[in-house]
Amino acid sequence: MKSQDQFEKARVTFRRHGGILRMSEALHSGIHRRMLYSMLEAGIIERLSRGLYRLTDLPPLGNPDLVSVARKVPSGVICLISALAYHEITTQIPHEVYLALGRGAEPPRMEHPPIRIFWFSGEAFTEGVEKYDVNSALVRIYSPEKTIADCFKYRNKIGLDTAIEALKLYRERKRLKVDELMHFARMCRIEKIMRPYLEALL
């Protein structure tokens, strides 16, 4: 049986990392694999996904899937319907995490949550990325304006109605940034497609 001191020391290490650690981070921080399993058995930590653990005495996660993906795939960016849902500009409930990766990046191996990968390249991948603190985890998510442009670009995969609805809800719920919308529309080469829908709302 592990001593309470060892448990407490490991708890402190977890708290220093926002209460969530990957197996590799735990080992690097001096928490042995056996210790992790003992903490799991004792109910001190829970398994969010393969190789990702979290203290059980923290408040419930608001976006557990986004947190899991952000910790496992730090180079990825939450995009499309998952980003719309985060920004509250869709009525859709994503049943998988929509994740953008740079072209040529290694796709992650994750059992849970389910991920849908989209390969972005150049500016389309690097521009419009915002960083949010979600349950003490840093999550990279495209801005509402970049996400709407992406939705029009990928309209054949997610549905044009999803993109149009997002634009309407953005108009109702956010401060309208027409210049930014058009900047990303040009970048995604969908300016001619998106402009009539935007003008209809102005």
**DSSP states along 115-154:** EEEEEE-THHHHTTEEEEEETTEEEEEE-HHHHHHHHHHT
| Tens digit of each residue's pLDDT (9 = 90 or more) over 90-145 | 998 888 999 999 988 888 887 778 899 999 999 999 999 999 988 778 899 999 99
Q: Distance between CA atoms of 71 and 168, rounded to whole angstroms?
A: 32
pLDDT digits (tens, 9 = 90+) for 65-97: 898 899 889 999 999 999 999 999 999 888 899
Beta strands 97-102; 115-120: pairing state: parallel
> CA-based diameter of the chain, in Å?
67
| Joined tokens for residue 22 | 């990957």
pTM above 0.85, yes or no: no
Radius of gyration of the chain (CA): 20
Task: Please state the domain extents for the chain.
Answer: 4-55, 64-201
CA atoms within 13 A on the CB side of 22: 13
Question: If you classify domain 64-201 with CATH, what class do you get?
Answer: alpha beta
For residue 118, the cross-strand partners are: 100
Per DSSP bridges, beta strands 52-55 and 45-49 are: antiparallel
Q: What does the pLDDT look like over 152-168, one tens digit per residue?
A: 999 999 999 999 999 99
